Structure 1
Amino acid sequence: MTNQTPARSTAQPAPAGSSTPPAPARSTSVRHNLGTVVGFEFGRTVKKRRFWIATLAIPVVIAIVVLLVFVSNSTTAASEDAQKDAAVSFTYTDDSGLIPADLASAMGGRIADDPAAALQDVKAGLTEAYFAYPSDPVTTPIKVYGADQGIFANGRYDAVATQLLVTAAKAKVGSPQLTAIASGNVRTEAQTFRDGQAAGGIGSVMPPLMFLLIFYVTLILLSNQMLNSTLEEKENRVTEMILTTLNPTTLIIGKVIALFMVGLVQMLVFLTPVAVGYIFFREKLAFPDFDLSALSFEPGPLIVGALLLLGGFTVFTGVLVAIGAVMPTAKDAGTIFGPLMALIFIPFYTLGLIVSDPHSPIVQVFTYFPLSAPVTAMLRNGFGTLSPVESTIVIAELFITGALILRLAVHLFRYGSIQYTSKLSISGTFRRRTAPTGK
């Protein structure tokens, strides 16, 4: 059914010539109605079993992946250590003259007089392995021959051959300090300055970028719910009844507030296991040992990051609610939903340019285009390339654009709430709004 007349929640004016005054708008109940909408939308969402399944699925999957990676890394490291320390009976020839006979003997090796005979012994199964060290191991590879023990077990031949040469080279140097320096095992301690003050370095980059992580996680978890917030009532054919008692603005704002509250719940569910695991089970789960004292929490970038997060959330929420108001079904809305969500990942394709040349034309376009501005601006804010003037412009743009889009979403929902069979014509809603009314 397609209804061309928007549903209204306030009382209609009295007919022309009537002595009865128009009924007053229910402004005193707006706050009560808003609270009712927020409570209803939030309650019905968190009471759904599929909501908790979807919410808990992410931390559970992450926990499983982390556990598998930990087990895999532990197994791989143990296998590599075992291969390095494996006792292999081998013969070798040394054209480099670097390997002492006593060191090779301690590792299970003996020198071979004839390379061809040594290789033949390996083929015949008389010797486990044969290593042929060239005169210049830097430019010429070591020839390693061994009896087949399986794909993974065969790796111990390379490990033993390499370990023998490395140990011999360290012994030739004769100085642990020179050996460490030659291996690149040196540390530096850098300090940079900005405007005469010590800059925070990488420690000042991480805290503002946390807002970008929250933005992505929130949109991934809530985007489908944002889209369906207005579609669900349309598909259930109940919007006409709802709008007889509720103003569309109150309904949409209530849904947006409820979505924000649901997002907070999901973020807490998502972060709580990580925090608990890090605080109480860090050693058992092999969490990286983060030095939190190295983080620099500068108020300016943190405030800008929080405002960019709220502004970006407002813009995308308004866009998704507007799409739901225009489209008759979730299937129809999905054709726009996919490309729209892809826009938030496009700035990452120019990450190198954002970091190295933030004032290039393409970065400037991404900084000020409303759908790419949140991600681009949060990246630039984290890396310290977003000036106060630019951050003010982008934040103002996001909040103004978000407010306008939400206003448009309310207008579209007013006209498209009971248009169940076809996509709403946006331009047609403005023409109908200005057209003269009559029976």
Structure 2
Amino acid sequence: MARYNLGTVISFEVTRTLTKRRFWIATLIVPVIIGIVVALIVVANSSTDSTVQSQKDQKFTFSYTDASGVIDPAIVKAAGGTKASSGSAAIAAVKRGSLDAYFAYPANPAKEQTRVYGVDTGIFDNGKYSSVATQLLTSSAEAKVGDARLSTLVRGDVPVTAVAYDGSGNVAGGIGSVIPPLLFLAIFYVVILLLGNQMLTSTLEEKENRVTEMILTTLNPTTLIVGKVVSLFIVGIVQMLVFALPVVVGYLFFRTSLNLPELDLANLHVDPWQMIVGALLLIGGFTLFTGTLVAVGAIMPTAKEAGQIFGVMMALIFVPFYAVTLIVSDPHSLIVQVFTWFPYSAPVTALLRNGFSSLSPGEAIGVIVEQFVLGFVVLRVAVRLFRFGSIEYSKKVSLSAALPSRRREASRAA
């Protein structure tokens, strides 16, 4: 019967949430905005590329003076330009409109500015003058070098492959070994931020609707709370899939337009221990935060009053980021150790340290045990608070009354 009730609770909670219009509005609004932004970026990048290309290919009359001796007259002639007899005469011609542009190259183009004068053709089209002036200087410099390899070295386009070794003499994974375990941190933030408010109000809805007493006559409170937690996790998976859809579509079909780097899975180094620790920290942290927010919802009479505690809980998961540089550079400092072992900052801190390989096996096991034990305790407390708070509709539940001391329980038993 208990299993049947648990399945009924999960099915009811998931169905009720997924059939709400406001849930899908809140869930889809971010992917829709992301999709609109992606579309605008694609259109803007395409327009920019076409504009830059048209500026490079656009022909106009120009002249130049060169105090550096770098500019190759043959290259200028091929581009349709001529050498000016004097700068002042060329500027006067530009002002009259008989010449489109004039480039004045200084003695040291690397340190001094090249001055470009042109006929106004619009704020965007005016960029063609600077593009051509720069291209002439670059092409002339490369022609003087006379060696394609040296030109590449001068531009700094040098391919470099770096190899680093860890303390065991093995090749270190680098950034490719950091990304996979840090994905659990990203998932933790997404789940808590998206579902935090729903965790808080999951028990408040029944209290505000005055139906908790009726529910508890037919359903065990433990089954109800566990069912709500499981349903929240299922709903969170649905939301994450919906959020990930525009990212995947954008990368697969618009990667070039969005200037996204190519993801080479061969460079990713997956450490089984780090992935297991990351998964357990994620589940343990989710259990602790869910149980805490459900307990808060069971104490408070209204969502408005519960929102104050919710803000504090959300702040706790961002506190470690104020010391993120210290977490990465000096993970054994006092403040990092405090963040590592304080229950509500532990998930984020431990996931960060796990990603950067500074979380020892002993610390990892200790934090995981802490999260699961406290999560279980908090869930038990949440069940008791929900049972006791079912008759408290207008005021906060008293913890001292809901959680009786051993002496009081012994006297009752006697």
The TM-score, its normalising length taken from structure 2, stands at 0.91
Provide the aligned C-alpha RMSD in A: 2.5
In structure 1, the gaps of 5 or more residues are 1-28
- 1:63-212 superposed matches below 5 A: 63-194=35-166, 195-212=168-185
Distance 1:413 1:222 in 2: 20
Match of 2:12 in 1: 40
> Contact 1:322/1:409 (CA < 8 Å) preserved in 2?
yes
Give the match's secondary structure for 1:93: strand
What letter is aligned with 1:120? A
Q: Give the distance between the partners of 2:323 and 2:181, measured in 1 at CA.
A: 19
Distance 1:275 1:146 in 2: 45
Residue deviations 1:84-122 (CA, integer Å, cap 9, x gap): 333232221111110011211222322112212222222
CA gap of 1:198–1:79, structure 2 versus 1, over 3 A, is: same
* Cα distance in 2, alignment partners of residues 189 and 269 from structure 1: 38
Deviations 1:345-397 (A, max 9, x none): 33333333322222233322222222222122112211222121121111111
Distance across 2 between alignment mates of 1:336 and 1:117: 74
Percent identity for Structure 1 against Structure 2: 59
Alignment of 1:15-414 (within 5 A): 29-194=1-166, 195-272=168-245, 274-275=247-248, 288-414=261-387
CA contact (8 A) 2:38 2:250 kept: no
Q: CA deviation at 1:276?
A: 6.3
Q: For 1:343 and 1:168, how far apart are their aligned partners in 2?
A: 59
Q: Secondary structure at the match of 2:64?
A: strand
CA distance in 1, matches of 2:354, 2:81: 59
| Higher percent of residues as helix | 2
Contact 1:367 1:377 in 2 (8 A): yes
Contact 1:99 1:164 in 2 (8 A): yes
| C-alpha separation in 2, matches of 1:364 and 1:118 | 70
Between the two proteins, the alignment pairs up a number of residues equal to 410
Q: Which amino acid aligns with 1:404?
A: V
Q: Deviations over 1:23-65 (max 9, x none)?
A: xxxxxx3333222222221221222233233333333332332
Q: Is the 2:188–2:286 Cα contact (8 Å) retained in structure 1?
A: yes
Cα distance in 1 for partners of 2:92, 2:24 equals 66
With over 3 angstroms needed to count, the CA separation of the structure-2 counterparts of 1:66 and 1:172, relative to structure 1, is same
Counterpart Cα distance in 2 of 1:284 and 1:80: 15
Cα distance in structure 1, aligned partners of 2:35 and 2:231? 28
1:159-190, CA deviations, whole angstroms, 9 ceiling, x for partnerless residues? 11111111111111111111111211111222
Separation in structure 1 between the aligned mates of residue 328 and residue 78 of structure 2, nearest angstrom: 53
CA distance in 2, matches of 1:375, 1:413: 28
1:302 positional shift: 0.7
Gaps of 5+ in 2: none
Letter in 1 for 2:371: L
- Judge conservation of contact 1:88–1:160 (CA < 8 Å) in 2: no
Contact 2:66 2:104 in 1 (8 A): yes
- Please tell me the residue identity of whatever aligns with 1:132: A
Please give the secondary structure, in 1, of the residue aligned with 2:359: coil
Query: What is the CA distance between 1:299 and its match in structure 2?
Result: 0.7
2: distance between equivalents of 1:161 and 1:347? 50
Distance 1:129-1:361 versus aligned 2 partners, 3 A rule? farther
Cross-structure match for 1:420? 393
Separation in 1 of the partners of 2:101 and 2:340?
A: 61
Partner of 1:21: none
CA distance 1:353–1:151, change in 2 (3 Å): farther
AA aligned opposite 1:38: I
| Post-superposition offset of 1:317 | 0.6
TM-score normalised according to structure 1 size: 0.86
SS of 1:192 mapped into structure 2:
coil
Preserved contact between residue 42 and residue 254 of structure 2 (Cα < 8 Å)? no
Q: CA deviation at 1:318?
A: 1.3
The 8 Å contact of residues 343 and 371 in structure 1, kept in 2 or not, is answered as: yes
Deviates more, 1:418-427 or 1:297-306: 418-427
Aligned residue for 1:418, secondary structure, equals coil
Distance 2:55 2:318 in 1: 43
SS at match of 1:99: coil
Which residue of structure 2 lines up, in the alignment, with residue 9 of structure 1? none
Shift of 1:428: 4.3
Q: Report the secondary structure of 2:222's partner residue.
A: helix
Structure 2 CA distance, aligned partners of 1:177 and 1:345? 49
Q: CA–CA distance in 2 between the matches of 1:281 and 1:62?
A: 13
Contact 2:350 2:364 in 1 (8 A): yes
